[in-house]
Amino acid sequence: MNRILLVLMFGVSSAFADDSIVSSEASQVERELASEVAAKQITKAQADEMELNRADTYEVTSTVSVENLEQLIAEKLQDSVMPFYSIEFNDPNKDNEYRATVVEYFGKVE
Residue 32's pLDDT band (boundaries 50, 70, 90)?
Answer: confident
Contact predicate 37/74, CB 8 Å = yes
In tens, the pLDDT along 42-68 reads: 999 999 999 999 999 999 988 887 788
Query: Are the CB atoms for 66 and 4 separated by under 8 Å?
Result: yes
Per the CB < 8 A criterion, the answer to whether 106 and 51 are in contact is no
pLDDT tens digits, 3-16 = 443 344 433 333 33
What residue ranges define each of the domains in the chain, with the CATH number in brackets?
2-106 (3.30.1660.10)
82: number of CA atoms within 13 Å, CB side?
22
Local confidence band at 84 (pLDDT 50, 70, 90 cut-offs): very high
CA-CA distance, 28 to 45, in Å (whole number)?
21
